[in-house]
Structure 1
């Protein structure tokens, strides 16, 4: 009985931990994606929507 309760609590805690790790990883990856865009976006490409091509 005690083992079953421990296992149930452990599994529930583990599921919450995995969700938190996934959310944290997603946040970090979106930050890296933004940094990648800033780093490698070519400023010399012509923006056809802007009147002066900037």
Structure 2
């Protein structure tokens, strides 16, 4: 279970961990966001390249 106590905040540690999580955990996180794991992964990659460099 993922608990979000605030909205519109990016947890950098979670972003970095997402692709290394097991598939079931990725699916659980993605479902909380009403997205597929592939959509979440793509969005995280977009955020990383847009804002991290």
Q: What TM-score does the superposition give when structure 2 sets the normalisation length?
A: 0.32
Structure index of larger Rg: 1
More helix by share: 1
Q: What TM-score does the superposition give when structure 1 sets the normalisation length?
A: 0.31
